Chain A
Amino acid sequence: MDKIVTKDNMAAWLRSLREKYEMIGPVKRPDGAPEFRDIDMMPPGIIPGGIEVALDNAAWLMPPKDYLLPPTETLFTYDEKDQAEPLKVPLAGDKPRLLLGLRACDARAIRVLDHVYLDGAFADPYYAARRKGMVMVGNVCDEARWSCFCTSVGEPVEWLKDLDAVITDIGAGFVVTANTPVGESLLDSSYLSDPSDQQMNLKVAAWDKLAAIPKRPFADKLAKDFLAWDDPIWEKYARKCLGCGICSYLCPSCSCFDIQDERVAGQIERFRCRDTCQTCYFTLMPSHNPRPEKKMRMRQRLSHKFKYQPEQFDIIGCTGCGRCVELCPVNLDIRQALAEVTPNE
């Protein structure tokens, strides 16, 4: 189902959705960088401007995963003295959340996270609780950033179909496409009307443009089992890696966490927090470090995304969003590494 909303009505429509949902969307930080955050907390005036700015694909910096996997999350607490008391397990969410401004690759990243946290016998209850009521509204990128490579790892137009609703900027207004019943309910608003054929053509052109982003030279390799354990490129690229972890902390599909315990004022708390395979402590055992060298950690990161996750879930764990490419402080560009690996025969 498609509807059209004028640029003037956009803010009013979004504001009306806030009555039902806690809205998380891309807004501009004071330093100019957009990030995903709670729009309710923003002063009212900032909404139209903030959203207009952020509905291009400048809204890339902070990954939306923060709202499914908070950087720190309490798993349970108990009272040190009164251990007969049951564990307190806080599960998320009362008001349903609406994530706004997701790009095709962000939608794909949530699909990857769904596999990790919900597939198989052990669905993660914390993730599941957040994920359950979550409504996902995305938009179609107008331009690829220099760092993007979504079409090299999949089909972004297909990924858009994972969203409840998709907003396409057609210049004079936005075409909003509902993919699910929840999406249709969002479109049930007097601020929206039926689009003309010409407006629909513009929408299709925008989706075609997304699909036509040129593929990178390594794209053909991805169908094969192409990462070799002893490829010399691991060492070559790892040499300049600082082990800073930015590439996984800000990766929308990286899912690793550490678990720590803490005792504060008689309360024992177990919480989880972000972890990354790019530090020497990752999966460290009392007697053994499985990846003592940087090259092994580099190999882990790429292999997890391009080999292990395809084997495990039949999905490439990288969405080509370009965050790691753009944010790596030493410009370690995984696209160059992927182009350079010698494919396994």
Chain B
Amino acid sequence: MDIQEIRNKAKRLLESGEVKVVVGYERGSTESKSTPAFIESPDDVDRLIWDATCVNNLAAYAIQEAKNGGVAIIARDCDARSIVMLVQEHQLDKDAVRVIEVPDETQWADDPALPESLEERRAFWAKEFEKCTRCYACRQACPGCFCNTCFIDRIVPRWAAKRAGASDAWMFHVTRAMHQAGRCGDCRECSRVCPVGIPVHLLAREIETFVGELFDYKAGMDMDADPVLGTFTPEDPDPNEHGG
């Protein structure tokens, strides 16, 4: 997509006063990196770039920036789903946010192949979780992790100790994935930011697959749809009866 087109859109939105800030990408501190840019003046739109270094899901800034007035966010499809999801979850006023759509040209890294059997999968994740530093960067980068206080940071009740090693990390990751049901747009930020290379997005993706199969629901597709975690009907399928 032509960068000039993005800049023009940003300029119009700022000039018309429709938004106070455009969140996009600008050149980072080295050629191979971009960094999030907060453009507040139409004169600054030329700072915006769009190339292969633009990988962050900027929806992570939506709540913060919407507090100061309207915000426009440059978003790929998966990022736009995060924004729609935040509106559905009543975290974001839909009138306070605009999306500047960009095509998804991300060079996604190959996903590791998950083993078929449950036993082997358990071993796969145990090995991955063993590396986890419990920095929670995956959570911080995830637009779906918008809680003011994450369950894992609670002292009362305490769900797991903040201990390195697989067993407590297990509690964190599995619960976080469950909480992404109907929220994960597969932006893979959680895995991208992880300093030790754990492919955590695969957990949320697995949950999304169940959500799709059981509830015919896909995260962040329809602003007016009720979020799947927030609704219950007596007809809801019971995952336990689906061998889940």
Residue ranges of A at the interface with B (Cβ–Cβ < 8 Å): 29, 31, 33, 61-62, 70-72, 146-147, 239-240, 242-246, 249-250, 258, 260, 262, 271, 273-274, 276, 279, 281, 325, 327, 329-333, 335-336
Contact A246 B163 (CB under 8 A): no
Task: Establish whether residues A281 and B29, one from each chain, have CB atoms under 8 Å apart when the complex forms.
Answer: no
Q: Is the CB of A242 within 8 A of B141?
A: yes
Is B141 in contact with A333, judged by CB distance below 8 angstroms? Answer: no
> What A residues does B134 contact at CB under 8 A?
71, 273-274
Query: Is residue B225 within 8 Å, beta carbon to beta carbon, of the partner chain?
Result: no
- Judged by a CB distance under 8 angstroms, whether B38 is at the interface is yes
B1 close to chain A: CB less than 8 A: no
- Is B28 within 8 A of A327, CB to CB? no
CA distance A327 to B135 in the complex (A): 13
Q: Of residues B36, B61, B64, B165, which shows the largest number of chain A Cβ atoms within 10 Å of its Cβ? A: B36
Q: Closest B-chain residue to A323, C-beta based?
A: B195
As a 0/1 sequence over residues 15 to 43 of chain B, the CB contacts with chain A under 8 angstroms (1 = contact) are 00000000000001110011110100000
Contact B56 A33 (CB under 8 A): no
Total contacts A to B, CB within 8 angstroms?
A: 86
Report if A325-B29 is in contact (Cβ < 8 Å); known contacts: A244-B141, A330-B36.
Answer: yes
A331 near B163 (CB under 8 angstroms)?
no
Q: Does B140 contact A (CB under 8 A)?
A: yes
**B35 close to A330 (CB less than 8 A):** yes
Closest Cβ neighbor of A31 among chain B residues: B197
Question: Per-residue CB proximity of B82-125 to A under 8 Å, as 1/0?
Answer: 00000000000000000000000000000000000000000000
Contact call B197/A274, Cβ cutoff below 8 A: no
Contacts of B64 in A (CB 8 A): 239
Choose one: A262, A274, A329; the contact of B133 (CB below 8 Å).
Answer: A274
Q: How far is the CA of A24 from the CA of B206 in the complex (A)?
A: 37
Give the residue name and chain of the A residue nearest to B33 (CB). Answer: A331
Give the 6 A-B CB pairs with smallest separation, nearest first.
A244-B137, A71-B164, A333-B29, A331-B28, A331-B35, A329-B193
Asked whether, in the complex, the Cβ of B133 is within 8 Å of the Cβ of A249, the reply is: yes
Q: Is the CB of A271 within 8 A of B161?
A: yes
Cβ of A245: which chain B residues have Cβ within 8 Å of it?
135-137, 140
Q: Return the contact of A281 from the options B35, B38, B153, B163 (Cβ within 8 A).
A: B153
6 more A-B residue pairs beyond the given contacts A239-B38, A240-B61, with a C-beta to C-beta distance below 8 A? A242-B140, A243-B140, A271-B161, A273-B162, A329-B56, A330-B56
A331 cross-chain contacts in B, Cβ below 8 A: 28-29, 33-35
Residues of A contacting B196 in the complex (Cβ-Cβ under 8 angstroms): 62
Q: How far is the CB of A131 from chain B (nearest CB, A)?
A: 20
CB contacts (< 8 Å) of A250 on chain B: these are 133, 195
Once the chains bind, are B161 and A260 in contact (CB under 8 Å)?
yes
Alpha-carbon distance A250/B153, docked complex (angstroms): 20
- Contact between B29 and A335, CB atoms less than 8 A apart: yes
Q: Is B137 touching A242 in the complex (CB atoms < 8 A)?
A: yes
Question: Which residues of A sit under 8 angstroms from B35, Cβ to Cβ?
Answer: 240, 330-333
Chain B residue at minimal CB-CB distance from A146: B30
Cα distance A26–B132 when bound, in Å? 19
Question: How far, in angstroms, from A248 to B34 measured CA to CA in the complex?
Answer: 21
Cα distance, A274 to B135, chains bound together (Å): 8
Q: Is B60 an interface residue (CB 8 A)?
A: yes
7 pairs, A vs B, C-beta closer than 8 Å: A33-B197, A72-B163, A240-B38, A240-B61, A250-B195, A329-B137, A329-B189
With contacts A330-B56, A331-B33 taken as known, whether A246 is within 8 angstroms of B137 at the C-beta atoms is yes
Contact A262 B29 (CB under 8 A): no
CA distance A231 to B164 in the complex (A): 36
Expressed in whole angstroms, the minimum distance between the Cβ of B40 and any Cβ of chain A is 11
In the bound complex, residues from chain B placing their C-beta under 8 Å from that of A243 are 140
Interface hub of A72, A242, A245 (most chain B Cβ within 10 A): A242
Give the chain B neighbours of A29 by CB distance below 8 A: 197
Return A250 CB to nearest CB of chain B, in Å.
6
B183: interface (CB < 8 Å): no
- Complex contact A273–B164 (CB within 8 A): yes
A71 and B161 contact, CB distance less than 8 A: no
Q: Are A71 and B30 in contact (CB under 8 A)?
A: no
Least Cβ–Cβ distance between A225 and chain B, in angstroms: 26
